[in-house]
Amino acid sequence: MSQLALPSCALPGCHTPVGAWGDVCDGCVAACGPLLRHNPGGHRITQAEIDARDRETAAAYAMQGRVS
């Protein structure tokens, strides 16, 4: 049986639940302020894209740990 994942914030490192994949949580909006812009016609990041990005980042961190 596969486990269902709840949508979480689209920003890297934040796992706060949100209403839909691609949304940013209120805490990140408050913390990032004008660095985030809402683009209603833009591409909404998908769960698969978030998972791939996070896997690549984790792999890079693991590689840094082996090199240092």
- pTM of this structure: 0.73
pLDDT in tens, 46-63: 999 999 998 998 898 899
Cα–Cα distance between 54 and 49 in angstroms, integer?
A: 9
pLDDT at 68: 64
pLDDT at 1: 47
Tokens standing for 20? 């839909």
pLDDT in tens, 3-32: 568 999 999 989 999 999 999 999 999 999
CA-to-CA separations, 12 to 2, 31, 39, 50, 67, in angstroms, rounded: 24, 13, 18, 8, 23
13 neighbors 28 (Cβ within 8 angstroms): no
Nearest to 45 by CA among 13, 6, 10, 3: 10
